[in-house]
Amino acid sequence: MRLLGLCMAAGKVVSGEQAVSIALNKGRAALVVLDAQSAPATQQRAAAMCSRRGVNLLIVDADIGKMVGHEGRKLAAVTDAGFAKALLSAHDGQMQ
């Protein structure tokens, strides 16, 4: 998941529930990444937001806040389609 940090450094990530919601509503989010340790209510809201907008939701067992440099954040959106595809591919490779 180091790639998420690279995305952040490139300015292609927004983090936090409100920022992710705005990115989804504006059609800017290519992928939403959710910390598996987040609260069930947060998980449900993220799934609903992504479902409404047709955006993939990637649930990871990692500290997203630490990766993006904002402790405590449990949700992030990648705003670049290329980075989103790379993150999904990297995650699929780890699952096999």
What is the domain-level CATH number for residue 37?
3.30.1330.30
Q: Structurally, how many domains does the chain consist of? A: 1
d(CA 57, CA 7): 16
Between CA 23 and CA 15 the distance in angstroms is 10
Model-level pTM greater than 0.75? yes
Task: Say how far apart CA 73 and CA 24 lie, in whole Å.
Answer: 17
Q: Report the chain's mean pLDDT, rounded to a whole number.
A: 88
- Per-residue pLDDT tens for 47-80? 999 999 999 999 998 888 888 888 888 999 999 9
Q: Which residues of 11-28 are buried (b: 16+ CB within 10 A; e: fewer)?
A: ebbbbbbebbbebbeeeb
Q: Which domain holds residue 67?
A: 2-95
Q: Is residue 13 within 8 Å of residue 76, measured between CB atoms?
A: yes
